[in-house]
Structure 1
Amino acid sequence: MSSLTASENVVKKLSLIDRFLPVWIFAAMGLGIGLGRAFPDLGSRLDTVKLDTVSLPIALGLLWMMYPVLAKVRYGELGSLRTRGKLFTTSLFLNWVVGPLLMFALAWLFLPDLPHYRNGLVLIGLARCIAMVLIWNMLACGSNEVAAVLVALNSVFQILFYSVLGWLFLTVVPGWLGADVAAFDVSMWSIAKSVLIFLGVPLVAGALTRVGLTRLKGEAWYEQRFLPRLGPTALLGLLYTIVLMFAMQGEKITRLPLDVVRISIPLLVYFVVMFASAFFLSRKLGFNYEETASLSFTAAGNNFELAIAVAVGVFGVSSGEALAGVVGPLIEVPALIALVYLSLWLRRRLFPTATNAVLPRRLGEGPFEESSR
């Protein structure tokens, strides 16, 4: 009896929510635009109470969409860093040197006349992968252990370096290139403050949730019972935030549909180039397929929730930077699904000894052995 090959039905292994994420985002955009037209003063009402510089209703959405994904991170896996130094050094190089530089170059290449969108892409390039990448890694049959450690590592590095690199790539480097950055007035502290609020708070909450509940109920209960219920609510936080954002700036979006296309093009190029570079560098360094896939997807994936939160906190909810952040997950889902197919195809071509690997039938279910048709 034959079973499905690795490259078939990848989309079916996604949950219904993840499979149609772009549809939900488009629907949230449409609802937000409709609310904005029906209630023209909604923006001023939302700004009545603020958390720092962000409307409190929107700030709550930003915090909530970050919390579930950070509760998934296995922070305890960081202890294994000592045993795989070469692997994790490569990941840090890809995530914190290659990724930001590539996105910066693409932003300036494709959007030289649109600095606000360009800044939004830079913020995306600096927001490295977190929990969503575990889905792509699992579908591509990468190493769950390696991916878990890399996600935890990047979460810590984002706290330490996001504000420094944000200030560097938004103000210092453009200044060296002769660009006029005076209008942006972006300080390192303004970025750091948004990171501390919208990444630091949910990261601490997520870590405390994992530690507390695993001690009380056990790791198996936390992974198999609690997270499947908590995880999907992150999408609700994202969609809620998008509805409010588009209610406040929907009129501008309907007037500038081509801007969304222009933002999408460098994002698509980024995903493909980043994945391909990481994949072939990892193979050149002698990593096996499972390690190579994990490195490649964690290098190509981004934390759009953080990019949106920082863009809103620093530049405002109706800014072009915030719009660029919202376009990000629209492009990421179909692009990363395509890269899962590419990864499985490359596995058969470049790692023939890995073709009998154990594959998940669906996320969260038991494995089955892949056999040829």
Structure 2
Amino acid sequence: MRGHVAAPVAARLSFVDRYLAVWILVAMAAGLGLGRLVPGLGDALAKVTVTGVSLPIALGLLVMMYPVLAKVRYDRLGTVTGDRRLLVASLVLNWVLGPALMFALAWIFLPDLPEFRTGLIIVGLARCIAMVIIWNDLACGDREAAAVLVALNSVFQVLAFGLLGWFYLSVLPGWLGLEQTVLDVSVWEIARSVLIFLGVPLAAGFLTRRLGERAKGRTWYETKLLPRIGPFALYGLLFTIVVLFALQGDAITSRPFDVVRIALPLLVYFALMWAGSMTLGKAVGLDYPKATTLAFTAAGNNFELAIAVSIATFGATSGQALAGVVGPLIEVPVLIGLVYVALAARRLFPDPGPAAVSPAVAPEGPAHV
């Protein structure tokens, strides 16, 4: 049965989801080509801005965040308190260990590249609220727990992201005696970006679900409306990547090795966070579905938010923004691989019975990083 479940993981992804890394590569190449073909593109994009972000990029960021947050079951947020072990473990992993680990890896791997280092630290602060649902489903995790933790992270990010950003970018390096060249970041600067690029789509997603379910019911909302609006998250992501790479073209083509250096700490981060979270879940007595949900919600990151904050705070052509853009290219293939690892590790957990081993079916429509 376990082998049967593991085999069709890639097949259960939609065509778009299965080749998401390819689409991201294509968007990157298109952006690089556009940047070379259209001189002065950066100046044109900078003429109209929203909180320091060019209007096209701002719209792309908002479009890619909204469908993800429209999927969240906000009515389930309170039920997470039913399993205190899962709740406490998730909060500690997501908001204590995850940011601290990325901070350490950024300094270990990128001590001489302050912009990329800062970008990775911001990535570590942006906890996953989106594509984790896909990976969790493919690995036969607990769908209800995943929905609850996604909703919890969505709300918690609005409250905590700005404060943690200020701490890890401005306070902690000083305490540790580390030299940081980009530190002029206030709590308000980061919080403002979070409120706009997470708060606005969060409110829109909440109202869409609330009004949609009230008008036509949950079945219609889940089976009709969500598949229609879901693809726009991917379109927004790819559009944003095209524009960013059009602006970043010179930096990327002149320093390709730096892009590789950004990828290395991300690979280490995903591996350590996922394995450590899975081990912790087993240690505190969680069953396989909940331990799997804990692992994927802790290992994934919300690159949309990281990109939005980096652009709003440091600019679209900054190294911080480039670090955020490289993120989904690395995350997608790595977490697909970890789905197979999770299914193989299932034998390490007590078998709860036939009902719990039926393969999950991935939701329809494109996934959202």
What TM-score do the two structures reach when normalised by structure 1? 0.94
Q: Which amino acid aligns with 2:246?
A: A
Question: Is 2:138–2:360's contact at 8 Å kept on the other side of the alignment?
Answer: no
The residue aligned with 1:369 is none
How far apart in 1 are the matches of 2:358 and 2:12? 11
How many angstroms apart in 1 are the aligned matches of 2:80 and 2:283?
Answer: 21
The answer to whether residue 90 in structure 2 is matched with residue 91 in structure 1 is yes
Paired with 2:130 and 2:53, the residues of 1 have a C-alpha distance of 25
Distance 1:143 1:224 in 2: 20
Deviations 1:281-334 (A, max 9, x none): 111111111111111110111111000100101010000010000010001111
Q: 1:347·1:354 contact (CA, 8 Å) conserved in 2?
A: no
Q: Which moved more, 1:202-211 or 1:76-85?
A: 76-85
Amino acid corresponding to residue 39 of structure 1 in structure 2 = V
Distance, in Å, in 2 between the alignment partners of 1:14 and 1:120 is 30
Query: What letter corresponds to residue 17 of structure 1 in structure 2?
Result: V
One-letter identity of the residue aligned with 2:145: V
* Equivalences for residues 129-144 of structure 1 within 5 A: 129-144=128-143
What is the letter of the counterpart of residue 138 of structure 2? L
Matches within 5 A, 1:1-373: 5-181=4-180, 183-353=182-352, 357-360=356-359, 362-364=361-363
Query: For the Cα contact (< 8 Å) 1:119–1:321, is it kept in 2?
Result: yes
Residues 236-293 of structure 1 show CA distances to partners (whole Å, capped at 9, x for unaligned) of 0011011111111211111111111111111111111101111111111111111111
Q: CA deviation at 1:357?
A: 2.9
> Number of matched residues?
364
Give, in whole Å, the separation in 2 of the partners of 1:222 and 1:85.
30
Superposed CA RMSD? 1.6
Residues 87 and 37 of structure 1, relative CA distance in 2, 3 Å threshold: same
Distance 1:233-1:282 versus aligned 2 partners, 3 A rule: same
CA contact (8 A) 2:5 2:359 kept: no
Q: Hey, what's the Cα distance between the residues in 2 that align with 1:168 and 1:222?
A: 40
Instruction: Name the SS for the 1:5 alignment partner.
Output: helix
**Cα distance, 1:15 vs. partner?**
1.3
> Where does residue 371 of structure 1 map in the other structure?
none
Aligned-pair CA distance for 1:362 = 4.0
Deviations 1:94-121 (A, max 9, x none): 1101111111111111111111111111
SS at 1:363 equivalent = coil
- Indicate the SS of the match to 1:22: helix
User: 5+ residue gaps in structure 1?
Assistant: 366-373
Shift in Å, 1:24: 0.8
Q: 1:145 to 1:45 in 2, by over 3 A?
A: same
The C-alpha deviation readout for 1:188-215, integer Å capped at 9, x for no partner, is 1110110011000010011000101011
Paired with 1:173 and 1:63, the residues of 2 have a C-alpha distance of 31
CA 354–175 in structure 1, closer or farther in 2 if over 3 Å, else same? farther
Tell me how far 1:90 sits from its aligned partner.
1.2
Cα distance in structure 2, aligned partners of 1:3 and 1:188: 48
Match for 1:121: what amino acid? L
Look up the SS of the partner of 1:130 in the other structure.
coil
| Counterpart-to-counterpart distance in 1, 2:289 and 2:114 | 39
Instruction: Write out per-residue CA displacement over residues 117-169 of structure 1, whole angstroms, 9 at most, x where no aligned residue.
Output: 11111111111111210000000001000000000000011000000001100
Q: CA deviation at 1:227?
A: 1.0
**SS of residue in 1 equivalent to 2:5:** coil
Relative to structure 1, the CA distance from residue 322 to residue 3 in structure 2 (aligned partners, 3 Å threshold; closer, same or farther) is closer
Normalised to the residue count of structure 2, the TM-score between the two structures is: 0.95
The one-letter code of the counterpart of 1:349 is L
Percent of aligned positions that are identical: 59
Judging changes above 3 Å, is the alpha-carbon distance between structure 1 residues 148 and 10 closer, same or farther for their aligned structure 2 residues? Answer: same
CA displacement at 1:52 relative to structure 2? 1.4
**Cα distance change of structure 1 residues 182 and 263 upon mapping to structure 2, 3 Å threshold:** closer
Hey, what's the Cα distance between the residues in 2 that align with 1:103 and 1:40?
Answer: 36
Deviation at 1:85, TM superposition (A): 2.1
> Which residue type is aligned with residue 65 of structure 2?
M
